[in-house]
Structures are given as structure tokens and as C-alpha cells.
Amino acid sequence: MNRSFIVKSALLSATVFLAAGCGTAAANGASSTPAVSHPAAAVTVARSMTILTGKMDGKPGWPKYTPSVWAAPQGSTVTLTIVSHDDGTAPLPSNSPYTKVSGTVTGNELVDGKAVTTVNAQDVAHTFTVPGLNLNLPIPVAPTGGTVTVKATFKLPKSGTFDWQCEAPCGTGSTGWGGPMITPGFMEGSINITAQ
């Protein structure tokens, strides 16, 4: 047999074997390059809450956020819309930190479409305050017989259950801190942030 023919045949067989081996590995799901992990796509979710007056919920003097509990996935960006029917004020001290917007993506909230970073202490009706997320949204008093809409966007960087509370004295009793202020499902609730 011709010696060059044998060498060429051996090289051809080796090439076919290597090519078949690569094809077999790929067919079996194996890869010669390390897998690249891609981060999960960013999730944006919309949530809505309504503040009812005591007349609306049948308990005079007991305003109520509804729903008081909601959930969203960890890592998501939430656009929260709060529609308040409450035309009663719960003034805060002029130096109160709860008059200022904090924890939002833009550093502000929209009140009936207008960007604001603070609400006058005398015009506050409620707040939506989540200490564990460093989030505070002051809610201004609604016009008589009307509504005010507050919209804000914020991120949920960690999983867990985070309690929220209204920090304006809008409840019953001489201080305004009774009744709905200390009753789950009225002026306090939670956000359940689920791990992905």
C-alpha cells in the first residue's frame, strides 16, 4: 500500500472522529465553552391602593387603605398609584420627615400629575411609609367630594415581608393615633416581596 495513502487515510479518520465527537457532545447538551448566565429580565409591576373615608367603609373616623396587603417579586420596579377620597387633614409638625418624599426612583411623587418632593405639613391627610424600604409617600388632602391621586415608582431590592404604616395622626382619640392607626387592614399593612 502507498505510504502517503495510509497517512492521508489516518488523518481523514481522525478528522471525522473529532468532528463526530463534537457533534455528539453538542447533541448531548455538553459544551466546550463555559455557560454564560444571563440576569433575569427586569420586571415592572403596577399596584393600586385606595384610601376610603370612614363614611365610605361604614366606620366613622376610620379611614382605610385598600388593599392593605399586596405582593410583588424581588428585584421588580413598582409603580404604585394611590387614590385618596379623604378630604380630612392630619397635619404634621412642620419639621416632620414624613412631609418629604423618599425612596422613589426619581426622588419625587406625582400628585395629580404634578411632580413634588414634599407636601405642606398642614395639607397632609396620610402617608404611605415603609421603613424597611426607606420609602415615604405623603398623601395630600383630597378636595371636598373629590379625589387626589399620588403615583410613585420604587424598587424592591430584597425579599421578605415589609410593614407599612400611615405616619399622619388620622385616627380616633384625642391624639389621632387610635382606632385605624393601630388596627391591621386600615392604616397599616404589609408588602410581601417574593424571592425570584
At residue 57, the pLDDT reads: 87
At residue 24, the pLDDT reads: 40
At residue 40, the pLDDT reads: 55
Q: Are 129 and 57 in contact (CB under 8 A)?
A: no
Residue found under cell 447533541: 27
Percent of the chain with pLDDT over 90: 76
Model confidence at 42, pLDDT cuts 50, 70, 90, reads: confident
Residue 41: count of CB within 10 angstroms of its CB? 7
State how far the Cα of 103 lies from the Cα of 88, in Å rounded to an integer.
26
Q: Are 170 and 50 in contact (CB under 8 A)?
A: no
Average pLDDT of the residues of the chain: 86
At residue 15, the pLDDT reads: 42
Helix, strand, coil percentages in the chain from 3-state DSSP, rounded to 5: 20, 35, 45
Q: Quick one: cell of 137?
A: 409617600
DSSP one-letter string for 69-103: EEEEETT-EEEEEEEE---------TT-GGGB-BS
At residue 196, the pLDDT reads: 77
pLDDT (average), residues 136-162: 97
In one-letter notation, the amino acid at residue 118 is T
User: pLDDT tens digits for 78-88?
Assistant: 999 999 999 99
Structural domains of the chain in order of their starting residue, each with its CATH number: 44-194 (2.60.40.420)
